[in-house]
Amino acid sequence: MSRHLYLYAGIAAVVLGVIGIALPIMPTVPFLILAAWCFGKSNPALEQRLLDHPRFGKHIRDWRASGAIAPAGKYGATVAFAASITLAFLFTAWPWPLLPLAIAAITLSWIWTRPNP
């Protein structure tokens, strides 16, 4: 039974990753890393397809090997958080802009401590 749950979770993560390709506010690679992990527990053939993917496979392998995040990903996350914080300050009432600011501070501090591939 759990193999099926991992398979469905992997498929859902791939779908979210594909949506993330079109929507700049959603990350793609973290969902594909999650999908590869789920497929590793349910369907090794699908896991291997993700690992062999010409665009995203390297990022998944780097993460598995050393928890590495490419500098371009770190900069992209920083820009996305900056845009989110800016929009929050422009369009929400006080004190709500502090929420994305706090989330960004915590998340970006973690992202920037990850090694480079």
Question: Residue 90: how many CA atoms within 13 Å on its side-chain side?
Answer: 6
Task: State residue 1's pLDDT score.
Answer: 62
Task: State residue 52's pLDDT score.
Answer: 95
pLDDT digits (tens, 9 = 90+) for 34-85: 999 999 999 999 999 999 999 999 999 999 999 999 999 899 889 988 998 9
Evaluate if pTM is beyond 0.95: no
What's the 3-state SS for 47-93?
HHHHHCCCCCHHHHHHHHHHCCCCHHHHHHHHHHHHHHHHHHHHHCC
Task: State residue 21's pLDDT score.
Answer: 86
What Rg do the C-alpha atoms of the chain give, in angstroms? 16
Where are the chain's structural domains? 2-66, 71-111
Structure tokens at 16: 């979210």
